[in-house]
Amino acid sequence: MLALILLLIVRAIYVIRGIRSEKPDLARRDPVKTLVVLGSGGHTTEMIQLLQQLKHESYTPLVFVVADTDITSMRRVEAFGARQPDSIYRIPRSREVGQSYLSSIVTTLWSFLHAFGIVLRIRPNVLLCNGPGTCLPIAIVTLAYRILGLCEGRIIFVESFCRVQSLSLTGKLLYHVVDLFVVHWESLQTKFPRSKVVSTFVPHRKT
Amino acid sequence: MLIEAITSKVALDWMVSRGYKSLKIQYGKGKEPRIESNGLPIAIEVYDFLPSLDADMRKADLIISHAGAGTVMEALRLQKKLIVVINTMLMNNHQEELAGAMAERGHLLMVEKPEKLDDNLTWVSFNDFEPIVYEGGDEDSFAILLDSHLGFSSKKAD
């Protein structure tokens, strides 16, 4: 038992060090099974826009996870004429707006429980998420399975382009454990050196 | 707060003096506001919510709104003259960050509290405002980053 725990710790350190070394992969030919968490509202809209530019043949199959109370995300996917996923999973939301602290502990545990089942069935090569809280259980469970060697589980977090000076709570929590942390403003990138800046929404200032 | 500020005598006088003939207001939740044009030649229309503001935003010459990211980006995309009034009732509203950054780049004007609109000088200061057109970003910037991170060749497939 002790040996097993030690082995797990060593493996966890190895994986986290790998993540933090930030070495890009050398060459990849096979497509990656891509799991995307649609966070509802503006988060979903931003995610759809990010997905639109990804090559279909590289990022396939495509799987969506949506909060069970979220009825607008999939409508948005249709409204944008965006690529339809190969499958969709529903997860209980960890926290509704205005929910009390105590009851959010219970609902968070509940959505973690679901996340264990969902991620085990999907075993993604890549997880793409951009907040809010809904993506947290999925991201943590993906990391756990990666440590256990159950999936490749590369985690990509994209901060909302509304974030110019500060990270979201989900962003702060995931900053150190994701493979790629993406922001949209140079002012934010300078504060968080692990992050990479893209100009998908905000053109870079010409200097 | 914002609705009172943009329908005050000061505000309507300024609008009329600038040649605006129609004012449309989405008031959102709450009671329908009672607004009178006091004989000024400006047609005022109010509604609580429209399924999409797109049609009215396209027709507008000037848009005044709070800092909601959706509205801000839509107005900039349509290349409209936009004035964002900070909602001082909301604490830690991070959406102001976005409006602030866009204001800093000259894409919109920002007013730090609705009370400022009681002052005629605030309105007069809008007269010379010519926004810098928001060009949008490089759409495939994220795909290029992700491809290279995962080891996909960055060459576009034929």
Would you call A63 helix, strand, or coil by DSSP? strand
pLDDT digits (tens, 9 = 90+) for B14-29: 999 999 999 999 988 8
Q: Say if the Cβ atoms of A199 and B157 lie within 8 Å.
A: no
Q: Is A58 on the interface with B (CB under 8 A)?
A: yes
pLDDT at position B157 is 44
Q: Taking residues A73-94, what's their average pLDDT?
A: 90
Taking the CA atoms of chain A, what radius of gyration do you get in angstroms? 17
pLDDT at position B54 is 86
Domains recognised in chain A with CATH numbers: 32-197 (3.40.50.2000)
pLDDT digits (tens, 9 = 90+) for A111-141: 999 999 999 999 999 999 998 888 999 999 9
**pLDDT higher than 80, residue A8:** yes
**Residue to substitute from A161, A162, A183, interface B, most B β-carbons within 10 A:** A162
Distance from the B134 Cα atom to the nearest Cα atom in chain A, whole angstroms: 9
Token pair for residue A9? 């710790």
Task: Assign domain B2-150 to its CATH superfamily.
Answer: Glycogen Phosphorylase B; (3.40.50.2000)
B70 touches A42 (CB < 8 A) = yes
**Dihedral angle of Cα B137, B138, B140, B146, to the nearest 10 degrees:** -80
Q: Residue A25: which of B45, B69, B146 has the closest Cα?
A: B146
Residue A206's pLDDT band (boundaries 50, 70, 90)? low
**pLDDT higher than 70, residue B156:** no
